[in-house]
């Protein structure tokens, strides 16, 4: 069990990463989340990284893995709260967060998950306009 709390909000899981994680903790979180998606029948996963000052390729890999695993389990993943300095560094680093949607904050993240889960056709139509 990782020490990072995972909250349930309706059919969504919310994780707020507050500490500078070492690798074991990151792996434990990945495992925990995957289990909880199944046990709680979650349709959405929101990862709040607003407290993270650094996102390196290892954390990036973790986020990609979580997104990939949740997609297999028919859940969507949204990462929220990325700091500007982190975004600029990630772009320079060349790390692509594949399959990970991003939103500015928890509010917008929940709205995005709602959109994606409730009416996927509606969301797709909006994208194409």
Partner 1 sequence: MLVESDETMPLRTSDDVVRVRQAVRNRAVGAGFSLVDQTKIVTAASEVARNTVDYGGGGTLKIEVLRDGVRRGVRLTFSDQGPGIADISKAMTDGYTTGGGLGLGLSGSKRLSNEFSIKSSPGQGTVVTLARWK
Partner 2 sequence: MPNKESVIAALIDKNQQALLRGWLAAQKRDNRSRETNAPTADVAEQFLRHLATGAAGGRFDDISTPEWAPARELLEDFSRARVSQGFSPTETATFVFSFKEPLFEVLQREADGLAQIWNITLLLDRLGLYTIECYSRTREEVIGRQQQELLELSTPVVELWDGILALPLIGTLDSARTQIVMENLLERIVASGAEIAIIDITGVPTVDTLVAQHLIKTISAARLMGADCILSGIRPQIAQTIVHLGLELNVVSKATMADALGLALRRTEKVIVDRAKVTAGTGD
| Interacting residue ranges for partner 1, rule: CB under 8 A | 20-24, 53-58, 60-61, 84-86, 88-89, 92-95
Kindly state whether residue 103 participates in binding partner 2, applying the rule CB under 8 A. yes
Return the sign of the alpha-carbon dihedral for residues 76, 114, 5, 23.
positive
Picked from partner 1, partner 2, none, the partner binding residue 17 (CB below 5 to 8 A depending on kind) is: none
Contact call for residue 129 and partner 2 (CB under 8 A): yes
Q: Is 87 one of the binding residues for partner 2 (CB under 8 A)?
A: yes
Number of H helices, E strands in the chain: 5, 5
**Which listed option, partner 2, partner 1, none, makes contact with residue 82 (CB within 5 to 8 Å by class)?**
partner 2
| Sheet containing 6-9: order of strands | 6-9, 12-16, 44-48, 76-80, 101-103
Q: Does 124 bind partner 2 (CB under 8 A)?
A: no
User: Which residue, 86 or 112, has its beta carbon nearer to partner 1?
Assistant: 86
Which tokens in the block code for residue 43?
Answer: 């349709």
């Amino acid at each position: 069990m990782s020490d990072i709390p995972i909250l349930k909000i309706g059919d969504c899981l919310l994780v707020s990463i507050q500490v500078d994680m070492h690798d074991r903790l990151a792996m434990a979180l990945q495992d925990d989340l995957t289990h909880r998606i199944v046990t709680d029948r979650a349709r959405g996963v929101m990862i709040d990284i607003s407290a993270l000052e650094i996102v390196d390729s290892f954390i990036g890999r973790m986020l990609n893995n979580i997104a990939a695993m949740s997609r297999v389990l028919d859940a969507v993943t949204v990462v929220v709260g990325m700091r500007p300095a982190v975004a600029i560094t990630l772009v320079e680093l060349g790390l692509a967060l594949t399959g990970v949607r991003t939103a500015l904050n928890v509010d917008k993240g929940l709205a995005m998950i709602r959109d994606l889960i409730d009416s996927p056709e509606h969301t797709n139509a909006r994208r194409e306009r």
